C-alpha cells in the first residue's frame, strides 16, 4: 500500500454541542460543606451563582470542555480535520473557550451572543482525595438555534457528530435535525452520542425518532442504552438500538467496548496505561479515536482499538485534554 495526499470534504468531523468552559479549582472538604455541595455530585446552577463561585475562588486551570467539543479536540489532536458548532457569549469564558479550542486546531466560528446568559461553565471542585464535585451553569450554550448552524461546515464534513445533552432545548433540537438533514443530503454521515441517561429519559421518543431517521453511528454507555431501550438487559437494549442505525458502539469502561455492525459483534478490550485518576472525557475521546479511524478508512476493529487506546490514556490524567501526542500513542499501541 502506498498513500499519497489529496483532499475531498473539508472536515473529517464537525460536532455540535454545549460550549462549556471547565474550571478546575482545588478546595478542602470544609468548602464543600459550606456551599452545601455533596461530594462527587453534579449540580446544575444558574448563571449568577456560577459567576459568584468563579470570582471567589483561585482558578487552577481553565479549558474548553463539553462532550462534543472534547471529541472534536481529540480528532484534531489525532491529526484529523475537526470543526465545532456551539454557542458562547462574548465574555471572558467565551474568549477562553474559543482561544483554547482553536489553538488545538478545531475550526470554531459560531458567532458569540452579546446579550443574555454567560458562556456555560462547569466549576470542578477537586478535594484532597482527588474526588470531583461539579457545578454546571449551561448559560448561553443551550441557546443554540438553527441560524447558528454553519451550512458550509455541516455539508463539508464526512461525519456530523451530535451531542445528546443539547436535547433539552427545542431550538437546539431544531438546529440538530436541520444540520443532520443538510449533512445527509451532502452525503455525510451522522453520529450521535447519547450523553446522559437522565436526558434520555426525558426525551426518549424523540431520541429514538432521531436515530431512526438520521443517525448512522450511535455512541452509548451501558446505562444510556438501557435507558433508551427501557430494559435492564444490555443485550436486549443492543438488539433494539442496533436495528435502527448502521453502527452501534457501546463503551463499558474497563470492560472495553462492543461494536455492532450488521450481523457482526466486535468486542474490543480496554487499554490500561496506569492508575485511573479521572474518567472525565473518556467516552468523548473514545469517540474521537473511533471516528478518526472511521474517516481514514480503517476497519471497525481498528476504529474501536484507536478509541480504546485514547480512552485508556485520558483516564490516567486530570481533565478531558491529552497533553501527549495521541498520534504517537496510537502508533505505538495499535499493532
Pairwise CA distance, residues 333 & 335, whole Å: 6
Pairing of strands 20-26, 61-65: antiparallel
| Separation between Cα atoms, residue 128 and residue 198, nearest integer Å | 29
Q: Does 310 bind a second copy (CB under 8 A)?
A: no
Specify whether the CB–CB gap between 89 and 116 falls below 8 A.
yes
Q: Which is nearer to a second copy, 267 or 332 (CB)?
A: 267
Residue 255 within binding range of a second copy, rule CB under 8 A? no
Which stretch, 27-35, 84-92, 96-104, 266-274, contacts a second copy (CB under 8 A)?
Answer: 266-274
CB of 241 to a second copy, least distance (A): 10
- Residue (42 or 265) nearer to a second copy, CB: 265
CB of 139 to a second copy, least distance (A): 35
Which residue bears the cell 463499558? Answer: 252
* Residue 105 touches a second copy, criterion: CB under 8 A: no
Q: Which of residues 11-30 bind a second copy (CB under 8 A)?
A: 12
For residue 170, give every residue at least 6 positions away whose Cβ sits within 8 Å of its Cβ, in sequence order, or none: none
Please pick, from the candidates 77, 133, 280, 302, the single residue that binds a second copy as defined by CB under 8 A: 302
Identify residues 132-191 at the interface with a second copy (CB under 8 A).
158, 184, 187
User: What's the closest the beta carbon of residue 6 comes to a second copy, in angstroms?
Assistant: 6
Question: Is the distance from CB of 228 to CB of 191 less than 8 angstroms?
Answer: no
Of 33 and 299, the one with the shorter C-beta distance to a second copy is 299
Distance CA 267, CA 71 (A): 22
Span from 17-25, 50-58, 70-78, 241-249 in contact with a second copy (CB under 8 A):
241-249
261 binds a second copy (CB under 8 A): yes
Instruction: Specify the residue, 46 or 269, whose C-beta has the smaller distance to a second copy.
Output: 269
Does position 246 interact with a second copy (CB under 8 A)? The reply is: yes
Residue 216 interacts with a second copy (CB under 8 A): yes or no: yes
Question: How far is 54 from 117, CA to CA, in rounded Å?
Answer: 15
- Please report, for residues 43, 174, 233, 235, the alpha-carbon distance to residue 67 in angstroms, rounded to integers and kept in the order given: 17, 19, 26, 26
**Minimum distance from residue 5 beta carbon to a second copy (Å):** 5
- How far apart are the C-alpha atoms of 260 and 47, rounded to whole Å? 41
Whether residue 160 contacts residue 130, with contact meaning beta carbons closer than 8 Å, is answered with no
In the chain, how long is the greatest CA-to-CA distance? 63
Site for a second copy (CB under 8 A): how many residues? 39
Binding mask 271-300 for a second copy (x = CB under 8 A): ------------------------xxxxxx
CB of 237 to a second copy, least distance (A): 13
Q: How many residues does the chain have?
A: 335
Of residues 24, 126, 142, 266, which one binds a second copy by CB under 8 A? 266
- Please report whether residue 231 would count as binding a second copy according to CB under 8 A: no
Residues 184-203 that bind a second copy (CB under 8 A): 184, 187
Beta strands in 116-170 (DSSP E): 120-126, 132-137, 157-163
List, as one string, the DSSP characters of 284-325.
HHHHHHHHHHHHTT--HHHHHHHHHHHHHHHTTSSSS---S-
Where does this chain bind a second copy (CB under 8 A)?
1-9, 12, 158, 184, 187, 214, 216, 238-239, 242-243, 245-246, 259-268, 295-302
Amino acid at each position: 500500500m502506498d498513500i499519497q495526499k489529496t483532499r475531498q470534504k473539508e472536515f473529517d468531523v464537525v460536532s455540535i454541542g454545549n460550549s462549556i468552559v471547565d474550571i478546575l479549582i482545588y478546595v478542602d472538604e470544609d468548602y464543600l460543606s459550606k456551599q452545601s455541595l455533596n461530594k462527587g455530585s453534579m449540580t446544575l446552577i444558574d448563571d449568577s451563582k456560577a459567576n459568584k463561585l468563579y470570582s471567589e475562588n483561585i482558578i487552577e486551570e481553565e479549558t474548553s470542555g463539553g462532550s462534543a467539543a472534547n471529541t472534536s479536540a481529540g480528532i484534531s489532536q489525532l491529526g484529523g480535520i475537526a470543526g465545532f458548532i456551539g454557542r458562547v457569549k462574548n465574555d471572558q469564558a467565551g474568549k477562553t473557550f474559543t482561544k483554547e479550542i482553536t489553538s488545538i486546531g478545531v475550526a470554531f466560528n459560531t458567532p458569540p451572543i452579546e446579550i443574555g446568559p454567560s458562556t456555560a461553565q462547569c466549576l470542578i471542585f477537586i478535594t484532597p482525595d482527588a474526588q470531583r464535585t461539579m457545578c454546571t451553569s449551561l448559560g448561553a450554550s443551550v441557546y443554540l438555534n438553527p441560524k447558528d448552524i454553519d451550512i458550509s461546515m455541516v455539508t463539508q464534513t464526512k461525519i456530523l457528530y451530535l451531542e445528546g445533552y443539547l436535547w433539552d432545548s427545542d431550538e437546539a433540537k431544531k438546529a440538530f435535525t436541520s444540520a443532520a438533514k443538510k449533512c445527509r443530503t451532502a452525503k455525510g454521515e451522522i453520529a450521535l452520542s447519547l450523553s446522559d441517561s437522565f436526558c434520555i429519559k426525558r426525551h426518549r421518543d424523540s431520541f429514538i425518532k432521531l436515530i431512526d431517521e438520521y443517525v448512522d453511528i450511535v455512541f452509548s454507555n451501558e446505562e444510556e442504552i438501557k435507558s433508551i431501550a427501557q430494559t435492564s438487559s444490555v443485550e436486549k437494549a443492543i438488539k433494539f438500538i442496533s436495528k435502527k442505525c448502521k453502527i452501534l458502539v457501546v463503551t463499558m469502561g474497563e470492560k472495553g467496548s462492543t461494536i455492532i455492525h450488521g450481523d457482526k459483534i466486535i468486542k474490543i478490550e480496554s487499554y490500561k496505561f496506569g492508575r485511573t485518576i479521572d474518567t472525565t472525557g473518556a467516552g468523548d475521546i473514545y469517540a474521537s479515536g473511533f471516528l478518526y479511524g472511521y474517516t481514514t478508512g480503517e476497519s471497525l476493529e481498528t476504529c474501536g482499538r484507536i478509541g480504546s487506546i485514547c480512552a485508556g490514556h485520558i483516564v490516567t490524567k486530570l481533565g478531558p485534554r491529552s497533553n501527549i501526542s495521541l498520534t504517537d500513542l496510537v502508533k505505538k499501541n495499535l499493532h
